[in-house]
Amino acid sequence: MAASKLDTKKKPMVVVITGATAGVGRATARAFAELGSSIGLVARGRDGLEAARRDVEARGGRGLVLPVDVSDAAAVESAAATVEEGAELIDAKAEPEVRDAGLIAAAQKVEHYEIAGYGCLSTWADQLSLGEVKRLLGETLEEEKQADHLLNQIAESQINAQSASR
Ligand SMILES: [Fe+2]
């Protein structure tokens, strides 16, 4: 697909591409890269994603590697939200460690938003005596809390210190 068919105004965009390591996904990433776009690259394998990022950056775009299992809808949604929240950071001309610290903060903002949403829904389901709904929402709520906890650990154990030393 030619880049000119993606956007007739040829403006850089912020996009998320699933299956970005091969085939149509990789070709789409290249086309958006030629517009100077910031691209969240989503697929399962980190090695393939790093290659896709090099490909994107060689064509004038900026790539953010997001190793996500695309069969996990919540994980894909979270990755997309992180790209949206962190779009300015992806574009920032900063040291990678500094961008990473900012992107983790952006991801945590998304997790906290999700925790608030699932927390309210879970409470409502409980008050409406919807036991199975409450159980499922509670599971998702716990996953969001664990994601936030993991991001905290990554930030506090490595990324923040690496960023501060830049
Ligand atoms: Fe999440």
Same domain, 152 and 102: yes
Question: Ligand 1 centroid to 5 CA: how many Å?
Answer: 33
Q: Domain limits at 115?
A: 94-166
127: domain CATH number? Answer: 1.20.1260.10
Question: 34 C-alpha to center of ligand 1: Å?
Answer: 31
User: pLDDT tens digits for 22-65?
Assistant: 999 999 999 999 999 889 899 988 899 999 999 999 999 988 88
- Rounded to two decimals, the pTM is 0.65
Residues 103 and 165 both lie in one domain: yes
What is the Å distance from ligand 1's center to 83 Cα?
13
Residues 100, 165, single domain; the answer is yes
In 3D space, the residue among 34, 31, 30, 36 whose CA is nearest the CA of residue 13 turns out to be 36
Total count of domains within the chain? 2
Residue 74 CA to ligand 1 centre (angstroms): 7
